[in-house]
Amino acid sequence: MAVPSEKSPEMEKLIDASNPSGRKRVNSIKADICSWCGKPATEFRNGLSRREYAISGFCQKCQDQVFIDEED
């Protein structure tokens, strides 16, 4: 089980309200599923991606889709 990063209650509410899937970020992270696509979130490219999961709740695939490197 991953440990979600701490956020203020206001920020957590904003993040959850902006998620079209309706999944709660904290609950998803604790269950090791992606807060956006709902698929398992247990394999990551590196430590930085794993750390991002604790912040955003995005699996590796969703991170790759959201955080596009414009130089690639």
Question: Is residue 42 situated within a structural domain?
Answer: yes
* Rounded Cα–Cα distance for residues 56 and 5 (Å): 9
* Rounded Cα–Cα distance for residues 16 and 14 (Å): 6
40: three-class secondary structure by DSSP: strand
Name the domain count of the chain. Answer: 1
Q: Which of 26, 23, 50 is nearest to 37 (CA)?
A: 23
Question: Is residue 38 situated within a structural domain?
Answer: yes
Question: Is residue 72 situated within a structural domain?
Answer: no
| Tens place of pLDDT per residue across the chain (72 aa) | 789 999 999 999 999 998 888 999 999 999 999 999 999 999 999 999 999 999 999 999 999 999 887 665
Supply the DSSP symbol for 63: H
pLDDT at residue number 36: 94
Question: What range does the domain containing 35 cover?
Answer: 9-66
